[in-house]
């Protein structure tokens, strides 16, 4: 499996996991709807890239970078490094440590997906 496909599959996994956590989190209906719409768009971009890997990967890279930024913000918010007043949005479990673990895992996965999706210099596999 080449790096582009690996990045697309990682992003698809991120979108599915994030959609499931949004459905199970118990936040407002508006936020769940927004999360599902964003995740559906990212999943569609991943599927399109998987079906036609020779096409432009930048839309999926942008979605994945957005996931990275969102979960990195959630991680530093839950860690208390910044105050965003979005603690309720970033909390996915009753235990703060589990929510921080969730944010850390998704931040790391998104970072790797962006790395896999970015173009490589000519002559490198």
pLDDT tens digits, 2-16: 889 999 999 999 999
Lowest mean pLDDT among 23-27, 42-46, 108-112, 113-117: 23-27
* Residue 50, helix vs strand vs coil: helix
Q: Where are the domains of the chain?
A: 3-115
The whole-number pLDDT of residue 125 equals 61
- CA angle, 39 as apex, 71 and 51 as ends, to 5°? 120
The answer to whether the beta carbons of residues 118 and 11 sit under 8 Å apart is: no
**What is the C-alpha to C-alpha distance for residues 65 and 59, in angstroms, rounded to an integer?**
10
């Amino acid at each position: 499996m080449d790096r582009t496909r690996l990045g697309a599959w990682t992003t698809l996994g991120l979108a599915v996991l994030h959609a499931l956590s949004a459905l199970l989190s118990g936040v407002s209906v508006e936020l769940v709807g927004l999360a599902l719409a964003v995740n559906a768009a990212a999943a569609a971009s991943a599927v399109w890239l998987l079906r036609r890997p020779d096409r432009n990967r930048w839309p999926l890279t942008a979605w994945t970078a957005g996931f990275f930024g969102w979960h990195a913000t959630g991680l530093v918010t839950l860690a208390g490094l910044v105050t965003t007043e979005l603690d309720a949005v970033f909390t996915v479990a009753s235990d703060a440590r589990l929510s921080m673990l969730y944010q850390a895992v998704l931040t790391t996965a998104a970072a790797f997906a962006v790395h896999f999706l970015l173009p490589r210099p000519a002559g490198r596999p």
